[in-house]
Amino acid sequence: MPRTARDVVFVDGVRTPFGKSGKGLYAETRADDLVVRVIRELMRRNPGLPAERVDEVAIAATTQIGDQGLTIGRSAAILAGLPSSVPGYAIDRMCAGALTAVTTSGAGISFGAYDVVIAGGVEHMGRHPMGEGVDPNPRFLSEKLVDPSALVMGNTAENLHDRFPSITKERADAYAVRSQEKVAKAYADGKIQEDLVEVLVRSLEQGYGLATRDEPPRPGTTMESLASLKTPFRAHGNVTPGNAAGLNDGATGALLAAEDVTQELGLDARMRLVDFSFAGVDPEVMGVGPVPATEKLFARQGISMDEIGLIEINEAFAVQVLAFLEHFGLADDDARVNQWGGAIAMGHPLASSGVRLMMQLARQFAERPDVRYGLTTMCVGMGMGGTVLWENTNYEGGK
């Protein structure tokens, strides 16, 4: 029987505004309801797609308990009103959960098992802190399989500062200030809002409200304000709440399809999935993960960073982004990188963030027909990195 690989495209992406954990926007909102809102909005924005044509719903969550458990891909699909014939599943690769949901279900499209899928992620860190209910095997420490610092992400970021002594706290703070400035400008220019879906929220104290924009950004952040912040992971360290992503709540979703199916159904084909790669690193320096993941992908494709026109890298910690840039010989303020800012300002609801990177890349591709290739990449807890290579379907530059 013949097997034919098909081109896979990113059709659309939607996300909730990101909230602060604890007493933030979604303190009294269920995680699965955030996913439901995203799925319903994806279907509303793409009326040419019959609901029964969705072949799979893959939703990631890092802490798969409570209201973001119960095989959330399937349960959210039912709650969103998709036909009972549409299956779904849950996935966990910590911060790269949504990214993995895309690559896994996208591979299914290429193989021919699916025509159309919904892939995304959710994290309600206010209800389910990272690692809640987890019982790490004592062998990790007793047999010294990992350094104790590997189990605390902030400590791994401090370790990365040790490994790259040229990346000072001042450089990390300067990067964080630029991220805040970029997000503020992107909001002012109307770049972010198109990907957001309004979410009805409620509070016993304040009643009902509407979440319409990200809660974490801190416009007006300065080097002076960041310099005074404490370093909670190490005395006289480098990592602070100002140069790292916070604890956040939010959900994302992407619509992927075979390129020939988008033509059949009249759907957009905003960018084409070219290749993806995951790699492992020492867990105690997990932030360096995007480097080998990207190198592995480049080697397989026979390309270099010179051929990449846009880069969306998750800002779990400023040092992690700077280590990536330094490795590839890119300036701290390279114009190709995170043009609209990143997680340091916008927030990082763990398993959902990968699709946010894709949404922003797709929007930037639409504005840049001169750019052919772009990357979405991120570090992953327990020592991993993931990178996806995308091709701009609006590219007008020839071969």
319-332: pLDDT as tens digits:
999 999 999 999 99
Q: What is the pLDDT of residues 170-211, one digit of tens each?
A: 999 999 999 999 999 999 999 999 999 999 998 888 889 999
Catalytic pick among 95, 124, 128, 161: 95
How many folded domains does the chain comprise? 1
Q: Which domain, by its residues, includes 146?
A: 141-191+274-391
Does residue 231 lie in a domain region?
Answer: no
Locate 308 and state its tokens: 């990449």
Measured between alpha carbons, how far is 359 from 373 in angstroms, rounded to an integer?
Answer: 15
Catalytic pick among 124, 128, 161, 379: 379
Does residue 186 lie in a domain region?
Answer: yes
Classify 95 as helix, strand or coil. strand
Does residue 149 lie in a domain region?
Answer: yes
124 carries an active-site annotation: no
Q: What is the pLDDT of residues 355-399, one digit of tens each?
A: 999 999 999 999 999 999 999 999 999 999 999 999 999 999 865
Does residue 230 lie in a domain region?
Answer: no
379 carries an active-site annotation: yes
Measured between alpha carbons, how far is 196 from 209 in angstroms, rounded to an integer?
Answer: 16
Q: What is the mean pLDDT of the chain?
A: 96
Measured between alpha carbons, how far is 96 from 359 in angstroms, rounded to an integer?
Answer: 15
Does residue 106 lie in a domain region?
Answer: no
Model confidence, pTM: 0.96
Catalytic pick among 124, 128, 161, 348: 348
Locate 342 and state its tokens: 């990143």
CATH of the domain at 154: 3.40.47.10
Measured between alpha carbons, how far is 117 from 109 in angstroms, rounded to an integer?
Answer: 8
Does residue 226 lie in a domain region?
Answer: no
Does residue 253 lie in a domain region?
Answer: no
Does residue 120 lie in a domain region?
Answer: no
